[in-house]
Amino acid sequence: MQDVATLLTATSRADLTDRDAAAVRAAIAQSGATPIATQWLSPQIACDVVFTGANRGDVSAALRKTFADAAFDLVVQRRPGRRKDLLVADMDATIIAEETLDELAAVAGLRDRIAPITQRAMNGEIGFEEAMRLRVRMLEGVHVSQLESTFDRISMTPGARTLVQTMRAHGSYTLLLSGGFSYFTSRIRGAIGFDRDIGNDIAIEGDQLTGAIDGPVLAPGAKHAALVRIAAERHVPLSETLAVGDGANDIGMLQAAGLGVAYRPKPVVAAAVAVQLRHADLTGLLYLQGYSQQEFRR
Protein backbone atom coordinates (compact mmCIF):
# COMPACT_ATOMS: atom_id res chain seq x y z
CA MET A 1 0.00 0.00 0.00
CA GLN A 2 1.38 3.37 -0.99
CA ASP A 3 1.25 6.45 1.21
CA VAL A 4 2.02 10.04 0.33
CA ALA A 5 3.47 13.08 2.05
CA THR A 6 2.32 16.36 0.49
CA LEU A 7 4.31 19.58 0.89
CA LEU A 8 2.28 22.79 0.46
CA THR A 9 2.86 26.49 0.56
CA ALA A 10 0.76 29.54 -0.28
CA THR A 11 0.22 30.30 -3.96
CA SER A 12 1.26 33.88 -3.20
CA ARG A 13 4.64 32.65 -1.89
CA ALA A 14 5.45 29.84 -4.33
CA ASP A 15 8.78 29.17 -2.62
CA LEU A 16 8.99 25.37 -2.31
CA THR A 17 12.21 23.95 -3.73
CA ASP A 18 13.67 20.61 -4.73
CA ARG A 19 15.78 20.93 -1.58
CA ASP A 20 12.61 20.94 0.55
CA ALA A 21 11.35 17.81 -1.21
CA ALA A 22 14.74 16.13 -0.77
CA ALA A 23 14.73 16.92 2.95
CA VAL A 24 11.30 15.29 3.30
CA ARG A 25 12.46 12.22 1.35
CA ALA A 26 15.48 11.91 3.64
CA ALA A 27 13.32 12.20 6.77
CA ILE A 28 10.94 9.57 5.43
CA ALA A 29 13.86 7.21 4.79
CA GLN A 30 15.24 7.82 8.29
CA SER A 31 11.86 6.85 9.76
CA GLY A 32 12.14 3.43 8.11
CA ALA A 33 9.95 3.96 5.03
CA THR A 34 11.06 3.87 1.40
CA PRO A 35 10.49 6.95 -0.80
CA ILE A 36 9.63 5.80 -4.32
CA ALA A 37 8.59 8.91 -6.26
CA THR A 38 8.47 12.70 -6.14
CA GLN A 39 5.72 14.42 -8.10
CA TRP A 40 5.23 18.16 -8.40
CA LEU A 41 1.52 19.01 -8.47
CA SER A 42 2.38 22.65 -9.04
CA PRO A 43 5.92 24.04 -9.38
CA GLN A 44 7.11 25.69 -6.17
CA ILE A 45 3.65 25.33 -4.56
CA ALA A 46 2.78 21.66 -4.00
CA CYS A 47 4.72 18.41 -4.14
CA ASP A 48 3.93 14.75 -3.39
CA VAL A 49 6.50 12.34 -2.00
CA VAL A 50 5.17 8.80 -2.41
CA PHE A 51 6.51 6.14 -0.04
CA THR A 52 5.94 2.59 1.17
CA GLY A 53 7.09 0.22 3.87
CA ALA A 54 6.36 1.83 7.24
CA ASN A 55 3.51 2.74 9.56
CA ARG A 56 1.96 5.92 8.21
CA GLY A 57 1.34 7.31 11.69
CA ASP A 58 4.98 6.82 12.68
CA VAL A 59 6.17 8.56 9.53
CA SER A 60 3.74 11.42 10.07
CA ALA A 61 4.87 11.90 13.68
CA ALA A 62 8.53 11.88 12.63
CA LEU A 63 7.91 14.44 9.89
CA ARG A 64 5.90 16.73 12.17
CA LYS A 65 8.76 16.72 14.65
CA THR A 66 11.45 17.28 12.03
CA PHE A 67 9.61 20.03 10.17
CA ALA A 68 7.74 21.68 13.03
CA ASP A 69 9.22 25.08 12.20
CA ALA A 70 9.20 24.73 8.41
CA ALA A 71 7.55 27.45 6.34
CA PHE A 72 5.33 24.94 4.57
CA ASP A 73 2.50 22.55 5.40
CA LEU A 74 3.17 18.81 5.40
CA VAL A 75 0.40 16.20 5.39
CA VAL A 76 0.75 12.40 5.34
CA GLN A 77 -2.12 10.18 4.20
CA ARG A 78 -2.96 7.05 2.23
CA ARG A 79 -2.49 7.58 -1.47
CA PRO A 80 -5.53 5.54 -2.68
CA GLY A 81 -8.90 7.21 -2.17
CA ARG A 82 -7.55 10.75 -1.84
CA ARG A 83 -10.17 12.38 -4.04
CA LYS A 84 -13.35 13.01 -2.10
CA ASP A 85 -16.94 12.99 -3.34
CA LEU A 86 -18.38 15.39 -0.75
CA LEU A 87 -16.99 18.70 0.52
CA VAL A 88 -18.45 20.24 3.68
CA ALA A 89 -16.97 23.66 4.44
CA ASP A 90 -17.35 26.07 7.32
CA MET A 91 -17.97 29.65 6.20
CA ASP A 92 -16.64 32.24 8.65
CA ALA A 93 -12.83 32.52 8.77
CA THR A 94 -12.64 29.58 6.35
CA ILE A 95 -14.41 30.15 3.03
CA ILE A 96 -14.54 33.86 3.81
CA ALA A 97 -11.91 35.79 5.71
CA GLU A 98 -14.26 37.43 8.21
CA GLU A 99 -16.60 36.42 11.04
CA THR A 100 -19.88 37.70 9.63
CA LEU A 101 -21.54 38.29 13.00
CA ASP A 102 -18.58 40.39 14.09
CA GLU A 103 -18.76 42.38 10.85
CA LEU A 104 -22.49 42.97 11.34
CA ALA A 105 -21.71 44.09 14.88
CA ALA A 106 -19.14 46.52 13.51
CA VAL A 107 -21.66 47.99 11.07
CA ALA A 108 -24.13 48.34 13.94
CA GLY A 109 -21.55 49.90 16.25
CA LEU A 110 -21.46 46.87 18.56
CA ARG A 111 -18.18 45.18 17.64
CA ASP A 112 -16.47 45.85 20.97
CA ARG A 113 -19.29 44.03 22.77
CA ILE A 114 -19.77 41.13 20.37
CA ALA A 115 -16.31 40.22 18.99
CA PRO A 116 -14.87 39.04 22.35
CA ILE A 117 -17.79 36.60 22.72
CA THR A 118 -17.10 35.25 19.22
CA GLN A 119 -13.46 34.68 20.10
CA ARG A 120 -14.35 32.84 23.29
CA ALA A 121 -16.80 30.61 21.40
CA MET A 122 -14.30 29.77 18.64
CA ASN A 123 -11.73 28.87 21.29
CA GLY A 124 -14.22 26.59 23.04
CA GLU A 125 -14.34 28.75 26.17
CA ILE A 126 -18.12 29.24 26.02
CA GLY A 127 -20.88 27.08 24.57
CA PHE A 128 -21.61 27.89 20.94
CA GLU A 129 -25.40 28.10 21.30
CA GLU A 130 -25.12 30.27 24.40
CA ALA A 131 -22.69 32.57 22.60
CA MET A 132 -24.89 32.76 19.50
CA ARG A 133 -28.06 33.68 21.38
CA LEU A 134 -26.20 36.19 23.54
CA ARG A 135 -24.70 37.96 20.52
CA VAL A 136 -27.91 37.94 18.49
CA ARG A 137 -29.82 39.40 21.44
CA MET A 138 -27.49 42.40 21.28
CA LEU A 139 -28.54 42.96 17.65
CA GLU A 140 -32.18 43.69 18.51
CA GLY A 141 -33.35 46.74 16.58
CA VAL A 142 -30.60 46.63 13.92
CA HIS A 143 -32.04 47.63 10.52
CA VAL A 144 -32.10 44.92 7.84
CA SER A 145 -30.23 47.23 5.45
CA GLN A 146 -27.18 46.72 7.64
CA LEU A 147 -27.12 43.05 6.61
CA GLU A 148 -26.42 44.13 3.03
CA SER A 149 -23.82 46.63 4.25
CA THR A 150 -22.16 43.77 6.10
CA PHE A 151 -22.14 41.53 3.03
CA ASP A 152 -20.33 44.28 1.12
CA ARG A 153 -17.48 44.05 3.67
CA ILE A 154 -16.93 40.31 3.14
CA SER A 155 -13.89 38.98 1.25
CA MET A 156 -13.45 35.47 -0.13
CA THR A 157 -10.52 33.43 1.17
CA PRO A 158 -7.90 32.86 -1.56
CA GLY A 159 -8.57 29.62 -3.37
CA ALA A 160 -12.17 29.22 -2.15
CA ARG A 161 -13.87 29.50 -5.53
CA THR A 162 -11.22 27.37 -7.25
CA LEU A 163 -11.66 24.67 -4.61
CA VAL A 164 -15.43 24.48 -5.05
CA GLN A 165 -15.49 24.82 -8.82
CA THR A 166 -12.78 22.19 -9.30
CA MET A 167 -14.42 19.63 -7.04
CA ARG A 168 -17.82 20.18 -8.67
CA ALA A 169 -16.30 19.86 -12.13
CA HIS A 170 -14.95 16.45 -11.12
CA GLY A 171 -18.29 15.23 -9.77
CA SER A 172 -18.16 16.13 -6.08
CA TYR A 173 -21.07 17.59 -4.10
CA THR A 174 -20.31 20.76 -2.12
CA LEU A 175 -22.02 22.06 1.01
CA LEU A 176 -21.47 25.36 2.83
CA LEU A 177 -22.30 24.76 6.50
CA SER A 178 -22.24 27.61 8.99
CA GLY A 179 -23.24 28.52 12.51
CA GLY A 180 -23.70 32.01 11.06
CA PHE A 181 -26.75 33.41 9.30
CA SER A 182 -28.42 31.91 6.24
CA TYR A 183 -28.68 35.48 4.88
CA PHE A 184 -24.93 35.27 4.31
CA THR A 185 -24.56 31.55 3.53
CA SER A 186 -27.05 31.80 0.66
CA ARG A 187 -25.16 34.70 -0.90
CA ILE A 188 -21.75 33.09 -0.45
CA ARG A 189 -23.12 29.87 -1.94
CA GLY A 190 -24.16 31.79 -5.05
CA ALA A 191 -20.92 33.75 -5.30
CA ILE A 192 -18.62 30.73 -5.00
CA GLY A 193 -20.81 28.03 -6.50
CA PHE A 194 -21.62 25.61 -3.68
CA ASP A 195 -24.42 23.15 -4.38
CA ARG A 196 -26.13 23.84 -1.06
CA ASP A 197 -25.88 25.96 2.08
CA ILE A 198 -27.13 25.58 5.64
CA GLY A 199 -27.10 28.32 8.28
CA ASN A 200 -29.10 29.85 11.12
CA ASP A 201 -32.15 31.98 10.28
CA ILE A 202 -32.22 35.31 12.07
CA ALA A 203 -35.68 36.58 13.03
CA ILE A 204 -36.86 39.81 11.38
CA GLU A 205 -40.00 41.85 12.01
CA GLY A 206 -40.74 44.65 9.63
CA ASP A 207 -37.36 46.12 8.81
CA GLN A 208 -35.54 45.27 12.05
CA LEU A 209 -33.80 42.29 13.65
CA THR A 210 -35.73 41.03 16.66
CA GLY A 211 -32.69 39.79 18.58
CA ALA A 212 -33.70 36.14 18.21
CA ILE A 213 -32.90 33.11 16.06
CA ASP A 214 -35.80 31.80 13.99
CA GLY A 215 -35.70 28.08 14.76
CA PRO A 216 -33.04 25.90 16.41
CA VAL A 217 -29.42 27.05 16.52
CA LEU A 218 -27.03 25.12 14.30
CA ALA A 219 -24.81 24.11 17.23
CA PRO A 220 -21.52 22.14 17.03
CA GLY A 221 -23.19 18.74 17.16
CA ALA A 222 -25.44 19.79 14.28
CA LYS A 223 -22.44 20.25 11.99
CA HIS A 224 -21.31 16.70 12.59
CA ALA A 225 -24.89 15.49 12.15
CA ALA A 226 -25.26 17.42 8.90
CA LEU A 227 -22.08 15.87 7.50
CA VAL A 228 -23.34 12.39 8.32
CA ARG A 229 -26.84 13.13 7.00
CA ILE A 230 -25.76 14.67 3.69
CA ALA A 231 -23.22 11.90 3.12
CA ALA A 232 -25.99 9.33 3.61
CA GLU A 233 -28.34 11.24 1.30
CA ARG A 234 -25.66 11.31 -1.39
CA HIS A 235 -24.66 7.67 -0.76
CA VAL A 236 -21.11 8.81 0.00
CA PRO A 237 -19.13 6.84 2.64
CA LEU A 238 -17.66 9.09 5.32
CA SER A 239 -14.22 7.92 4.17
CA GLU A 240 -14.88 9.77 0.91
CA THR A 241 -15.80 13.09 2.54
CA LEU A 242 -13.70 16.22 3.05
CA ALA A 243 -14.47 18.76 5.78
CA VAL A 244 -12.70 22.03 6.50
CA GLY A 245 -13.10 24.56 9.31
CA ASP A 246 -11.26 26.60 11.90
CA GLY A 247 -13.28 26.83 15.13
CA ALA A 248 -14.28 24.70 18.09
CA ASN A 249 -17.74 24.08 16.63
CA ASP A 250 -16.09 22.40 13.62
CA ILE A 251 -14.14 19.76 15.54
CA GLY A 252 -16.83 17.08 15.41
CA MET A 253 -17.22 17.18 11.65
CA LEU A 254 -13.47 17.45 11.08
CA GLN A 255 -12.86 14.33 13.15
CA ALA A 256 -15.67 12.42 11.42
CA ALA A 257 -14.74 13.21 7.81
CA GLY A 258 -12.50 10.97 5.75
CA LEU A 259 -10.20 13.98 5.47
CA GLY A 260 -10.78 16.68 8.08
CA VAL A 261 -8.63 19.76 7.62
CA ALA A 262 -8.20 22.52 10.18
CA TYR A 263 -7.66 25.74 8.22
CA ARG A 264 -5.74 28.41 10.16
CA PRO A 265 -7.07 26.65 13.26
CA LYS A 266 -7.87 28.14 16.64
CA PRO A 267 -5.69 26.55 19.39
CA VAL A 268 -8.39 24.17 20.60
CA VAL A 269 -8.85 22.90 17.03
CA ALA A 270 -5.13 22.54 16.42
CA ALA A 271 -4.95 20.31 19.48
CA ALA A 272 -7.78 18.07 18.24
CA VAL A 273 -7.24 17.79 14.47
CA ALA A 274 -4.03 16.42 12.98
CA VAL A 275 -4.30 17.71 9.40
CA GLN A 276 -3.77 21.46 9.35
CA LEU A 277 -3.16 24.15 6.73
CA ARG A 278 -1.28 27.09 8.21
CA HIS A 279 0.54 28.26 5.07
CA ALA A 280 -1.34 27.05 1.97
CA ASP A 281 -4.53 28.73 0.80
CA LEU A 282 -7.70 26.75 0.12
CA THR A 283 -6.33 25.30 -3.12
CA GLY A 284 -4.21 23.24 -0.72
CA LEU A 285 -7.30 21.08 -0.21
CA LEU A 286 -7.14 20.19 -3.91
CA TYR A 287 -3.45 19.32 -3.75
CA LEU A 288 -4.13 17.11 -0.73
CA GLN A 289 -6.54 15.19 -2.95
CA GLY A 290 -3.89 14.76 -5.63
CA TYR A 291 -5.21 17.36 -8.07
CA SER A 292 -2.56 19.04 -10.19
CA GLN A 293 -2.76 22.74 -10.97
CA GLN A 294 -3.62 21.88 -14.58
CA GLU A 295 -6.88 20.31 -13.37
CA PHE A 296 -8.08 23.41 -11.51
CA ARG A 297 -11.24 25.25 -12.59
CA ARG A 298 -11.10 28.95 -11.78
Indicate the pLDDT class of residue 216, thresholds 50, 70 and 90: confident
Instruction: Answer whether residue 258 is part of any domain.
Output: no
What is the rounded average pLDDT for all residues in the chain?
95
Q: What is the mean pLDDT of residues 36-63?
A: 94
Write the pLDDT tens digit of every residue in 83-99.
Answer: 999 999 999 999 999 99
Q: Report helix angle 100-107 to 111-122, nearest 10.
A: 170
Region 108-130 average pLDDT: 89
Q: Which of 3, 48, 73, 90 is catalytic?
A: 90
pLDDT one-digit tens code per residue, 20-30: 999 999 999 99
Dihedral sign from CA coordinates of 196, 246, 188, 286: negative
Q: Give the pLDDT of residue 179.
A: 87
Is 90 considered catalytic here? yes
Residue 92: active-site member: yes
224-248 per-position pLDDT tens digit = 999 999 999 999 999 999 999 999 8
Task: Read off the pLDDT band of 183 (50, 70, 90).
Answer: very high
Share of the chain above pLDDT 90, in %: 86
- Is the pLDDT at 50 greater than 90? The verdict is yes
Yes or no: say if 136 and 212 are a contact pair by the CB < 8 Å rule: yes
Choice between 126 and 175, residue whose per-residue pLDDT is larger = 175
pLDDT reported for residue 129: 86
User: According to the model, what pLDDT value does residue 265 have?
Assistant: 96
Decide if 68 is inside a domain.
Answer: yes
Assess if residue 66 is contained within a domain. Answer: yes
Q: How far apart are CA 19 and CA 1, in angstroms?
A: 26
Any domain includes 37 = yes
DSSP 3-state assignment of 243? strand
Q: For residue 32, what are the CA distances in angstroms to 56, 63, 133?
A: 10, 12, 52
pLDDT tens digits, one per residue of 140-167:
999 999 999 999 999 999 999 999 999 9
What residue numbers bound the domain in which 62 lies?
A: 1-80
Catalytically annotated residue among 92, 197, 246, 281: 92
Q: Is residue 103 part of a domain?
A: no
Instruction: Looking at 123-245, list the stretches that DSSP marks H as alpha helix, in order from N- to C-terminal side.
Output: 128-137, 145-151, 160-169, 182-192, 220-233
Is 179 in a helix, a strand, or coil?
strand
Give the per-residue pLDDT at 220.
67
pLDDT of 228 reads 97
> What pLDDT, on a 0 to 100 scale, did the predictor assign at position 263?
98
CATH number for the domain harbouring residue 62? 3.30.70.260
Residue 95 lies in a domain: no
Number of structural domains (the chain) is: 1
Distance CA 266, CA 156 (A): 19
> Looking at residue 81, what is its pLDDT?
94
Within a domain: residue 224?
Answer: no
Say what the pLDDT of residue 122 is: 80
